[in-house]
Amino acid sequence: MVISDQSGAPLPAATGAAQDDAVEAGEMTQEEIDRRIAEARKFTSNECIFCSHESADFETNMDHMTVVHSLFVLDAEFVVDIEGLIRYPGESISIGNMCIYCTRGFASIEATQRHMVDKGHCKIYYEDDMDEGIDEFYDFRPSYPDYDPENADAEIDPADKCALLDMFGG
Ligand SMILES: [Zn+2]
Ligand SMILES: [Zn+2]
């Protein structure tokens, strides 16, 4: 029988737990995510993502969200696909039950919507490290001082390139 020296085994450090004090969505398994997506109801483009109010068309719905919920769209002047931009956070709400502004998770769509309306979190807002998916609905290149459509390929990613091709008719 050998009595080994047991020193040197580091205690599990107090890592983790630091980052996600509110977000539960990040802990879902892929299976759970798939199930949620399959079961989730999705908002139509006529439906308010904050209260499920249904409008006659997307424009009326935008009016509703802007007037009733003070919808704030960051850098709205650079949005190239407003319908997509609304649909995207709509899925965070309907599938992820997650506030699109503060990313808190909730148990249901209704609870998520209630939180956003109560807290005034009806904002489409993002930061670089928060939500990369949303930038496909924007085109900021015209805002660059040295923007040159002829030479734009150099620094754009494929998604932006598609938008650019669309813009110039392929
Ligand atoms: Zn509404
Ligand atoms: Zn919130």
| pLDDT reading at 134 higher than 70 | yes
- Ligand 2 centroid–CA 104 distance in Å is 6
Q: What is the mean pLDDT of residues 112-136?
A: 79
| pLDDT reading at 104 higher than 90 | yes
- Ligand 1 centroid–CA 102 distance in Å is 18
pLDDT band at 115 (very low <50, low <70, confident <90, very high): very high
| pLDDT reading at 143 higher than 80 | yes
pLDDT of residue 58: 96
Q: What is the mean pLDDT of residues 18-34?
A: 63
| pLDDT reading at 114 higher than 90 | yes
- Ligand 1 centroid–CA 48 distance in Å is 5
- Ligand 2 centroid–CA 25 distance in Å is 14
Residue 96's nearest CA partner among 41, 53, 46 is: 41
pLDDT of residue 20: 41
Share of the chain above pLDDT 90, in %: 35
pLDDT of residue 68: 96
- Ligand 1 centroid–CA 116 distance in Å is 11
Domain range annotation of the chain = 25-130, 139-170
Residue 125: nearest ligand to its CA? 2
Tens digit of each residue's pLDDT (9 = 90 or more) over 32-78: 878 877 877 889 999 999 999 999 999 999 999 999 999 988 888 88
Residue 116: nearest ligand to its CA? 2
Contact residues for 23 (Cβ-Cβ < 8 A; gap 6+)? 98, 103, 104, 105
| pLDDT reading at 169 higher than 90 | no
pLDDT higher at 92 or 134: 92
- Ligand 2 centroid–CA 120 distance in Å is 8
**Rounded to an integer, what distance in angstroms lies between the CA atom of residue 23 and that of residue 2?**
47
- Ligand 2 centroid–CA 49 distance in Å is 14
- Ligand 2 centroid–CA 15 distance in Å is 26
Residue 118: nearest ligand to its CA? 2
Q: Residue 50: beta bridge partners?
A: none
Residue 87's nearest CA partner among 79, 156, 26 is: 79
pLDDT band at 15 (very low <50, low <70, confident <90, very high): very low
